[in-house]
Structure 1
Amino acid sequence: MKSAKWLAVLPVAAFFSGGWLSSVAPTFVLGMPFLMVWNVSWLVLTSLILFVIDRAEGDLDAQAAGGTR
């Protein structure tokens, strides 16, 4: 599953699109500034994306070694 590495592009794109999006989004979300909510959300999502990439790469490593994971 080599395409899993392309998921790493999402957090970078989200980081650079947050400033533009904050100009058209509501000022406050859940009582916090929009940009803070955006950054914290993507902090959590980045961890999940990296977990998915790690699992996909682990499967490739196990296949290359001849074992199953």
Structure 2
Amino acid sequence: MHPLKKWRTDNDLTLAQAGELVGTSRQTWFGWETGRRKPSDAFMGKIRAVTEGKVTANDFYDFAAVA
């Protein structure tokens, strides 16, 4: 499970509620959770702030594939 989804479900939030916290739609949030999309730098900062650092930019990239 993606860390963003884990954070959302651990906090009993719907996709719409989570999206609202950072100023985006439930569809966009879902895209982030499923890995179909990556947040912009601005949204990365909002996600990090809202999740109190539990979800960071590193969670959206597969560094093992690069190594």
Q: Point out the structure with max Rg over C-alpha.
A: 1
**Which structure is higher in strand share?**
1
**Which structure is higher in helix share?**
1
The verdict on a shared fold, with TM-score over 0.5 as the criterion, is no
Q: Which of 1 and 2 has higher RCO (CA within 8 Å, sep 6+)?
A: 1
TM-score (norm 1): 0.28
TM-score (norm 2): 0.29
